[in-house]
Structure formats: C-alpha cells, structure tokens
Structure 1
Amino acid sequence: MTSDSLPTHSDVAAAAQRLNGLVRKTPVLRHDALDALAGARVFVKAECLQETGSFKIRGATNRLLQIPEDRRAAGVVAFSSGNHAQGVARAARLLGMPALIVMPSDAPAVKVEGVEADGGEVHLYDRDTENREEIASRIAAERGAVLVPSFEDPHIISGQGTAGLEFVAQMEEAGGKLDHLVTPAGGGGLASGLALALEGTSPDTGIWVAEPEGHDDWTRSLKSGRIERNAPGTRSICDAILTPAPGEMTFAIGHRLFSGGLVITDAQAKEAMRVAFRYLRIVAEPGGAAALAAVLACLPEDMKGKAVGVVVSGGNVDAAEYAKILTGS
C-alpha cells in the first residue's frame, strides 16, 4: 500500500461537491441528559436520518458516479450485511444501473427488503461457511459488472468522509468545535473518511473508533501497529460493524490519524439505542449506536468535560427486535 493510492482530504472535498443535492445534510442533535450521562458535551451527527437510513449512501453514490457511462449497463455487484447494500441499490437505481448484493443469510429483514425495494437483486450466503468477497468477485466477473466493496476503496472512503465535513461546518455555524469525535467502525470506511475530512478542517480533533466486544479488531490493531483479525464465528448484536478485520487502505489511514479504540458490550449498545430514542427521538440500530454507547458508558477520563462528537451511523433495525430492546424484554 503506497501513500499515492490512498485518498486525501482533497478527495473528500471533491466528493462533497459531487454529492451535493444527492444526499441529505443530516442534523447535529444534543440534549442535556446525554451531557449528564457522559460527563461531556455531546453532539450527535444523526446519519440514521440519511437516505436509506445510514451514511453508506454517501460512499456508494460517490463510487458509482466514477463508473464510465459505457460500463454502467453491466451494473454493479456488492457485498454487505445491509447498509452498504441499501446504499449501492439506491445509488444504482438513481443512475439507472442494475445491482446485485451478496448479503448474509442472517441479515435483518428490513435491510434485505430495503435492497429489494430499490430494485436490487439479493444473493444470500452463510457467514460461517462461505466467503462473501469470493462470491461477489465471481458473480461480477460472470456479468462483467463493477465490484463495489463496502470500505476498501478510495471513492467509498472519500464519500463517507463528507459526513465529517458537514459535522465540522455545523459545529462552526453553532460557534463551537469538537475536541473528540467517536464513530462506529467495522471495516473503517466511515472512520477513515471522517479522519481525512477533519485532517484538513479540524486537525486537533481526536478520532476514536467504537466497536463491540469480540470484534475489537481496530482497538487491537491500533495498539499493535498491524492489522489484527477477529476470531471466526464471533457474534454481536451490532451486525452492521461485524467485519473480519480493518482493510489495508483504511488501516493505513487510521494508523496515522486515529487516537484509539473504545470497546462496548451488547448491553451498552442496547442502552444507547434506548437513550437515543428517549432523548433525541431517533431510531439507532445496534451497530449505529456503538459510538454513543462508548461515550455514555466508557468515555476516558481525559475526554470528560470536552466537546465530543458522536456519529450515529445507521437506523435500520427490524421493528420487532427494536421494540424488544426499547422495552427491555
């Protein structure tokens, strides 16, 4: 991996221009109750209110816009547990392209339905016995389609980073700035994109990733200085961020720009979902609530009293499961 192949802050800025009018400018929310619970001034970037219910539409649209006109008829193939799948399906529909998404058989029904509602074709696979990248690569080759990875792509990373440019601008408009920013992390496309965005606009802001127990590959990787993988078969309610390991591209960025990782439990993710609903009136899926969970439950002492930004990255959760979590049943 060479530095020349990595996206930069200028790529994020270019993506923001490209996506203008195609994605929503999501709000920044706050509540005194969150500040009291966290012991800090908490500002929540609600990407759960984005088109398709997550930030993924940013990177997907930016990536598909790079596909030459003469290759669009063959369509795209992607692999995802759901949010990237929906982002690619929506972007493909907007650009008049066919899309096939390789999704795990245990993906939440609401995410599968979201892909199909946008005209996407779904190919299900078994997380434990099959390799989604191999399946997607084979199908893409058979169709002559463009493979759209969920995070290991400079256009995807740049597109996700546009949320960071918005966040900084919204804080400036309100007369403030972020001391720290905490974001959920799976493969790291969002986190690395945010870091690039803030490198050029708010370089003193610390960037932290939040992830579930058993899937703390980023936290371990940042400590060891090399990519660490999760043990096969590990599970968490945070399905949206259960990736095997950081990507080479995202880790190269994160190793340079991230401050560290914060690890949460499933119980803490559920509580964050309840808090988000109670005080902010937003729906957060488990993985999307990981950063809020970390800020509420395990914020480091040296971050107390500071202005802490939180990205709630998605809100695509099955209604029945969400109801159980809200009621604690």
Structure 2
Amino acid sequence: MSMSRHEASTGEQSRMLSRENKVTITSGLSPSYLQANLIILPSRYASDFRRFCQRNPVPSPLLAESSQRGSPFGWKSYIQGIPDSAVAANCDIRTDVPRYVVYRDGVPIHESQDLLEEWTDDHIAFLLGCSMSFESALTRAGLEPRHTTLDINNPMYITNIPTNPAGVFTGGTYIVSMRPYRRSELDRVRKTTRPYVLTHGEPIAWGWDGMARLGITDIDQPNWGDPPRARWGGKFSEAQGLTGEDDDIPVFWGCGVTPQQAVITAKVPGIILAHAPGHMLVLDVKEDDVLEKD
C-alpha cells in the first residue's frame, strides 16, 4: 500500500518515500525527527572536512559519517548518547534523499533523484545538523514557520561572514536560512531554538539591520529556496521600514549548505555529492535526543 508524505510518521518511512521518489522538499516531514544536511566527499578530503566542522560548528554541526569508506550503508555517530545503529537504520544514502546535487571540480553539473551512478568505493558521506529539525518545536510553541504553511522551501542566502578554513576548504562564507517572524515574536523564537545546538541553535542575526550586516542586499532573491512572502502575500521586502511590534522582520540561522558553498568557492577537485537544499535525509534520531539541557 502506498503512503503519502502526510502519513510518514517516522524517519524510516520518510526515507522510504524518498527512495520511491514520492517526496520533494522535506520541511514538515515526520515531525520531531531530525533532518540532516548531506555532503559526500572523496576520502582524501575527509580529515580536512572533519576539521572544517570543528572550526565552524554553528553552520556545520557534524552528526555522523559513513561507517566505512565506500559503503552507502551504516553510520558512525557523533551524537552523544546515540549509538551508530540508531542514526538511520536500513538507509541507503544513494537513494534516501529526495534530490541530490553533483559537483565536479567545485561546479554544480546536475541534480538527480539518486546517486547510483555517481557513488564510488572512495566516497565518504557526512551528515550535518539542519534547522528544519526544530521547526516542529517552533510549531508547538505557536510559531510555525511560514514556509511550512505554504508548502514551499525556506529561503537561503550567501553572507559575508567568513568560515574558518581547514585544508582544501578555504575562502568560503556562512550560508544562512531565513524564517520571517513578527518583531514581537523574536524573543520566543530565540528561546525555542536556542537548545538545539546540533541543528544550528538560535538565530545568528535578525531584523533589517541584521540583514545588512550579513551582506544580504535583496531579501526577495535568495540564493537557494523560494522567495519569502509577507503575511499579506506580497513581497517580503515590502515589510522593510515598518517598525511596529506586529510587523515582519527576517530572522537568520546558520545553514548546513555552508560546506557546499565552501566546495564551490575553493573549487575543490573531484566528484562531490550533496543534498539539494531543502531536500534532506530524515534520521531515526528524535529532536529531543539532541536537546541541550540547562
């Protein structure tokens, strides 16, 4: 019997839907289960990438990596208290993400629904935390992200914040995701997301002045994802300059697309594979399993 995305209640069910090419963006899929960013590298870059994550923990929190080089099955967990077998059981990383991007020498060359032809015996997959993981917590707090109600992809932007380099991963900058909120909701949004350190934690910037400091010049033109919308349905930029407590402001989080931008900026040689932004791997780990306690 076939299953729709709205019936997927576990991480494994969401992965099976992805394997069958029955889902696109994963926002709102299997609420309360962690979603992960993905990057797959030739093994010669693995140690550099682990250092990159250590030096850039806000946009690139490392959750797990392949259990062994060249195997698309099995994980080595970096999540405290989560054994390797509990990361994502029965997962084939070549098929269980809805959409992938293939890079050659730092240039995106095409997107695909699977990586059966591109995967090699020399590849190692890495999973990074994703801010979609705390969206169910925001929803429970009465702060449901607007893109989930519209069933669109949240917007992502290149910033001017430099990442700390590691080996071949040099010259990159932070990528951020954005969710609109009323100015009066900001403190609740920060408090709700703050404990989710492994999924980017609380926002790194907010407001129109925060947008300017990040070097983002046009909020209506994200580098990835769909343009944000104002509450009344118009362009989000129409809210700029409004100062009331109920007026929209942009709120920005670190984003796990940051390593892909590092690959592009450094023109890293070879075939590198990644998730298409907004098309994540849904894990078996629950969001409460990574909640940082006071």
Q: 1 or 2, which has the higher strand percentage? A: 2
> Relative contact order (alpha carbons < 8 A, sep ≥ 6): 1 or 2 greater?
2
Q: 1 or 2, which has the higher helix percentage? A: 1
Pairwise TM-score range, normalised by the shorter structure: under 0.3
TM-score (norm 1): 0.24
